[in-house]
Structure 1
Amino acid sequence: MMVRSEIARALVLASLALGQASFPESLAQAQEKPEGVVELFTSQGCSSCPPADAVLADLAAEGNVIALAYHVDYWNYLGWKDTLASPENTARQKAYATTFERKSVYTPQAVLNGRDHVNGASRGHIDTTLSAMERDGRGLVVDVDVAHDDDTLVIDVGEGEGKAHVMLVVFDRENIVPIEAGENDGASYTYVNSVREVQIVGVWKGDAERITLPDMMIDDWDNRNGAILLQRMVDDRAPGAIIGAALIKS
């Protein structure tokens, strides 16, 4: 992990050093902009999570939004250790709690565009909230395009206002997990887009820019893919509004 991060930082700096002279006036081969980003915080040990996992799978299959599942580890004490959970996922959810001025976290929680949260099992609430955000200018207002070609990831970010982190999110496409203990004992579920790693690969300051990374940033292309999130920070420490996003195109 340290090796990939160090390589990423070096290539980001090299890319930025090229300046505007090497960057096209418009985004090349821009993909259709997603309607929003849905980040589901879930757990295999939570009996109320399977309906939310199913909603996320539907969203991912439909392809209109960036749908990501963050498995958290704080329900592991109930008797089943979530096979996809990580302390980093839990830390991200707790950081969102700071942003939303909440004293606690819960599952299933769906965070929408980094701006608001709803019950992850409520597809209707997710859809109406994302639509309202788009109408109010709180959607994905900055163009982002990312392509995988010739052993590289090429990220193009368009013009906008303010400052944001360019974040690479690596996720498993699909995992089938038999649950053998805990609240969901005896069930078997198919989980999609389960996040395995999130790292900052650049800082955007409003100007159009291109970032090039090695494709080994994703270590298993057979079962993994990635997304780019352009996310503002709150007080330089907590995740805030997501203003642009794209799935990696192979």
Structure 2
Amino acid sequence: MTDPGSDRVRLPESPPRAADVAPPNGGFAVVGLFTSQGCSSCPPAEEVLTEIERDARTREQPVFALGFHVDYWDDLGWPDRFADAAFTARQQAYARAFGSGHLYTPQMVVNGTVEFVGSDRRRAASAIASALTSAPSTPLTLSMQDYAAGAGGGQRVVLGYETERPGERTVLNVAIVERGLESEVARGENAGRTLRQDNVVRAFTSSGLDAESGRVELETAPDLDPRQATVLGYVQNDRDKAIVAATAIDLSAVAG
């Protein structure tokens, strides 16, 4: 966690260029950002995540962006409406895997194995380029099986998945992320700011992968706009957190 009053990592003014990210060579990059609306260092990192995802869409690269909003900033004056204790627990699991033992924001993690300060464009570009040139070790496909009204006011999303014989202690993570979200922050370090955030994780599930095919169910938030949402799936080793497969489906293609 970045403490109030500590030195802040400032983002260079120039945006990352498309040329900063190498073309794909059969690889993929899952880019997770641990962030919070209560942290003044986080908006620059969220801009980096947005630019990474937009560039990847333009170039049709398999780069999958997820913004995990943690909850340990909530006690400092502003409760983040996207925060979830489960996302803090995920960051704690990474801290144990990396051997660091401590949490901070903004933290970016690429393919579960490389971590750095989330506003560091050069580190992000380098990590993504390396990931894209590494061939995936496991195939993964997702298919939409049902999209209908759910019990909680949102939509029930049922997905089918197919992969190869899963390794020992692997998990399938599935997230629904939403772009184009805005929040007016009234208190805390970002008081008075309107934050625009993309790739925010609005629903997430993780389950042990013990079969080559199966089904996964999620329910969207009632206010989620499916035209701005994507379903991301990725296979991860539970021990070292390395991500070995990833794919995505745009909800807009299903919801109409």
Q: What TM-score do the two structures reach when normalised by structure 1?
A: 0.74
Taking the TM superposition and a 5 Å limit, the aligned residue runs for 1:144-223 are 144-149=140-145, 151=147, 152-158=158-164, 164-204=170-210, 209-213=212-216, 217-218=219-220, 222-223=225-226
- Deviation at residue 134 of structure 1 after TM alignment: 4.5
Backbone CA RMSD of aligned residues: 2.6
AA of the residue aligned to 1:93:
Q
Residue aligned with 1:97, SS: helix
- Number of residue pairs matched by the alignment: 209
1:40 aligns with 2:24: no
* Distance in 2 between residues matched to 1:87 and 1:200, nearest whole Å: 14
Structure number with the higher helix fraction is 1
1:85 — aligned with what?
83
- Deviation at residue 168 of structure 1 after TM alignment: 1.4
* Distance in 1 between residues matched to 2:199 and 2:27, nearest whole Å: 16
Residue aligned with 1:96, SS: helix
Taking the TM superposition and a 5 Å limit, the aligned residue runs for 1:17-28 are none
CA contact (8 A) 2:171 2:206 kept: yes
- Identify if the C-alpha distance between structure 1 residues 219 and 203 changes in structure 2 by more than 3 Å, giving closer, same or farther: same
AA of the residue aligned to 1:70:
F
1:229 aligns with 2:227: no
2:246 — aligned with what?
245
Structure 1 unaligned segments of length 5 or more: list them.
1-31
Q: Render the CA deviation track for 1:187-244: whole Å, top value 9, x for unaligned.
A: 1011112113332345157xxx332345x6446563443211100011xxxx610111
CA contact (8 A) 2:202 2:221 kept: no
* Distance in 2 between residues matched to 1:184 and 1:218, nearest whole Å: 27
* Distance in 1 between residues matched to 2:33 and 2:91, nearest whole Å: 9
* Distance in 2 between residues matched to 1:73 and 1:219, nearest whole Å: 18
* Distance in 2 between residues matched to 1:150 and 1:87, nearest whole Å: 28
AA of the residue aligned to 1:145:
T
AA of the residue aligned to 1:195:
V
Residue aligned with 2:48, SS: helix
* Distance in 1 between residues matched to 2:26 and 2:101, nearest whole Å: 34
**Aligned match for 1:96, one of 69, 94, 112:** 94
CA contact (8 A) 1:34 1:246 kept: no
- Deviation at residue 49 of structure 1 after TM alignment: 0.7
Q: What TM-score do the two structures reach when normalised by structure 2?
A: 0.72
* Distance in 2 between residues matched to 1:104 and 1:160, nearest whole Å: 31
CA contact (8 A) 1:169 1:226 kept: yes
CA contact (8 A) 2:169 2:208 kept: no
Structure 2 unaligned segments of length 5 or more: list them.
1-24, 148-157
